[in-house]
């Protein structure tokens, strides 16, 4: 069977590798660091096409289709690896902190309702009865019951296990260049020599633009994690202040995320962390007493139009799956299916046309 080289072992690379492996392909994953610790480790793990307030259109539909695939994706992976991933259709609540935000949320809710999507307005009084404290400016908000979350670190643990059990893994090896001959892929050049294969898939996240001439760049995000008591917050809160994510096992409350275009500038900043803490206590004032567990940051793979880049490249046997920006955890199942069908069956898809690299040429 053909040998596929996957450049970058994040959620996108490992999910594609897994689909291809199931169809009989031999897979090698090459990562400049350890597999599974890029943006996919750093993320919040929200599956939030509606809460994100995406405009009605192709990208929303793409995200909704992937959300529909999630349960099966996780059930299968848990079965294959024995690693429990804590997929949780917790619902996501979007609180309004002003009349203006309330109007905007209602407008989006009504647009989604015309598409037959679920959602409902929840009054402040109902929230006051439910939670230990509630920010004084919260007027109420919209609950999207079909949005949810997954513990992305557990998910990466499961995908890592699948990968180490079934693929060849080459870690701490940076791909620097693709070699081609007459427009056809030949091999990869790395800082540790050459790697041969029949085809390759570029899934290098925020670093993809350093390998191929693609408009992909890092959009930095900072995050914090604090203690939470069992049942204290039973769904994600997603607002202009911050998003607040209780893990299914109540081991942690994750708060995210800042967004900055500062290149690969490592480290957490005072202003970033302050914004997140303020967002937390403006939503739940009593949380000021919580213990801090961890502070971290990472790089979303952004593109100039903020949509992913998927499908064939102009070099034969080179495929791209990158630029998933804020929604790469959500979009892993659909990306893996479409890219695998393209490689395995030469099967096209309208999303591959819409999100082709050709839109930038
Ligand atoms: C703070 C934050 C919060 C987020 N929250 C969410 C969320 O709630 N929901 C959601 O759906 N998405 C979220 N995202 C977005 C999501 O995390 C990303 O879109 C997704 O993880 C991208 O996956 P990836 O596999 O493309 O990239 P990554 O996970 O970054 O993996 C890329 C891999 O490629 C490797 N690599 C790079 N260059 C090379 C090279 N030259 N050679 C070899 N290997 C290389 C890297 O080491 C890395 O392991 C968030 C992102 C951030 C930063």
Q: What is the pTM of this model?
A: 0.98
Domain tally, the chain: 2
Question: Cα of 317 to ligand 1 centre, how many Å?
Answer: 23
Local confidence band at 1 (pLDDT 50, 70, 90 cut-offs): confident
Task: For residue 87, tell me if it sits in a domain.
Answer: no
Q: What are the pLDDT digits (tens) for 156-177? A: 999 999 999 999 999 999 999 9
pLDDT, residue 223, reads 98
Q: Do residue 262 and residue 287 come from a single domain?
A: yes
Q: Are strands 92-96 and 184-190 parallel, antiparallel or unpaired?
A: unpaired
How many residues appear in the chain? Answer: 361
Nearest CA to ligand 1 atom 22: 328
Residue whose CB lies within 8 A of the most ligand 1 atoms, among 19, 34, 43, 261, for a mutation test: 43
CA distances from 360 to 11, 62, 112, 202, 328 (A): 25, 20, 30, 17, 20
Tokens of 204: 């290098």
Q: Which of 280, 299, 318 is the last residue of a domain?
A: 299
Q: Give the residue, by CA position, lying nearest to ligand 1 atom 4.
A: 43
Question: Which pLDDT belongs to residue 114?
Answer: 97
Cβ atoms within 10 Å, residue 132: 11
Which of 257, 281, 299 delimits the end of a domain? 299
CATH of the domain at 54: 3.50.50.60
- Segment 303-308 mean pLDDT: 98
pLDDT reading at 234 higher than 90:
yes
CB-defined site of ligand 1, < 6 Å: 7-13, 30-33, 38-40, 42-46, 174-175, 203-207, 211, 221, 223, 256-257, 298-301, 322, 324-330
DSSP letter, residue 231: T
Distance between CA 102 and CA 100 in Å, rounded? 5
301 forms beta bridges with 218
Helix axes 58-81, 152-166, angle to 10 degrees: 60
Q: Are residues 143 and 291 in the same domain?
A: yes
| Best mutation site among 5, 8, 144 for ligand 1 pocket (most ligand atoms within 8 Å of CB) | 8
pLDDT at 107: 98
Question: Could you tell me if 223 and 295 lie in one domain?
Answer: yes
Together in a domain, 163 and 49:
yes
Question: Residue 82 has what pLDDT?
Answer: 98
125 and 229 part of one domain: yes
> For 284-305, how does the pLDDT look when each residue is reduced to its tens digit (9 = 90+)?
999 999 999 999 999 999 999 9
Q: CB under 8 Å to 311, separation ≥6 — which residues?
A: 319, 320, 338, 339, 342, 352, 353, 355, 356, 357
Average pLDDT, the chain: 98
Beta pairing class for 26-30 and 168-170: parallel
Q: Looking at residue 240, what is its pLDDT? A: 94
Of 49, 157, 195, 204, the one to substitute when testing ligand 1's pocket (max ligand atoms within 8 A of C-beta) is 204
Q: Please check whether residue 110 lies inside any domain of the structure.
A: yes
**Per-residue pLDDT tens for 98-149?**
999 999 999 999 999 999 999 999 999 999 999 999 999 999 999 999 999 9
* Domain closes at, from 284, 299, 314: 299
Do the beta carbons of residue 11 and residue 40 sit within 8 Å? Answer: yes
Largest CA distance in the chain: 68
Say if residue 71 is in the same domain as residue 157.
Answer: yes
Location of structure tokens 């949810």:
148
Q: Is 211 part of any domain?
A: yes
Could you tell me if 226 and 343 lie in one domain? no
Atom number of ligand 1 nearest to Cα 300: 53
286 and 179 both lie in a single domain: no
For residue 300, the CA-to-ligand 1 centroid distance in Å is 6
Q: Would you say residue 275 lies in a domain?
A: yes
Q: Is residue 243 part of a domain?
A: yes
How many other C-beta atoms lie within 10 A of the C-beta of residue 316? 12
Domain housing 241:
92-148+218-299
Contact 317, 184 (CB under 8 A): yes
Distance 221 CA to ligand 1 centre (A): 11
Torsion of CA 310, 314, 317, 322, to 10 degrees: -20
The pLDDT, as a whole number, for residue 352 is: 98
């Amino acid at each position: 069977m053909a040998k596929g080289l996957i450049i970058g072992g994040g959620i996108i690379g490992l999910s594609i590798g897994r689909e291809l492996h199931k169809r009989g392909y031999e897979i090698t994953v090459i990562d400049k660091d350890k597999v599974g610790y890029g943006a996919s480790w750093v993320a919040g793990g929200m599956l939030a096409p509606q809460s994100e307030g995406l405009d009605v259109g192709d990208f929303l539909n793409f995200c909704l289709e992937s959300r529909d695939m999630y349960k099966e994706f996780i059930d299968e992976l848990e079965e294959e690896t024995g690693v429990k991933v804590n997929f949780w259709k917790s619902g996501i609540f979007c609180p309004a902190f002003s009349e203006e935000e309330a109007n905007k949320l209602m407008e989006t809710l009504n647009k989604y309702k015309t598409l037959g999507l679920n959602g409902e307005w929840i009054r402040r009084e109902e929230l006051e009865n439910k939670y230990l404290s509630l920010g004084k400016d919260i007027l109420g908000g919209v609950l999207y019951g079909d949005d949810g979350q997954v513990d992305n670190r557990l998910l990466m643990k499961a995908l890592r296990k699948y990968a180490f059990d079934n693929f060849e893994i080459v870690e701490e090896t940076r791909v620097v260049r693709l070699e081609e001959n007459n427009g056809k892929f030949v091999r990869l050049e790395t800082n540790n020599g050459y790697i041969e294969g029949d085809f390759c898939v570029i899934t290098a996240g925020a670093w993809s633009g350093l390998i191929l001439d693609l408009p992909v760049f890092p959009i930095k995000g900072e995050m914090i994690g604090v203690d939470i008591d069992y049942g204290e917050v039973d769904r994600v809160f997603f607002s202009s202040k911050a998003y607040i994510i209780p893990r299914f096992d109540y081991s942690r409350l994750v708060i995210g995320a800042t967004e900055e275009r500062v290149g690969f500038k490592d480290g957490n900043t005072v202003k970033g962390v302050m914004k997140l803490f303020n967002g937390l206590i403006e939503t739940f004032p009593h949380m000021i007493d919580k213990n801090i567990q961890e502070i971290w940051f990472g790089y979303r793979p952004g593109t100039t139009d903020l949509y992913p880049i998927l499908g064939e490249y102009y070099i034969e046997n080179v495929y791209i799956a990158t630029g998933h920006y804020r929604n790469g955890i959500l979009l892993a199942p659909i990306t893996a299916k479409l890219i695998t069908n393209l490689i395995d069956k030469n099967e096209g898809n309208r999303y591959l046309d819409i999100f082709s690299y050709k839109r930038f040429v």
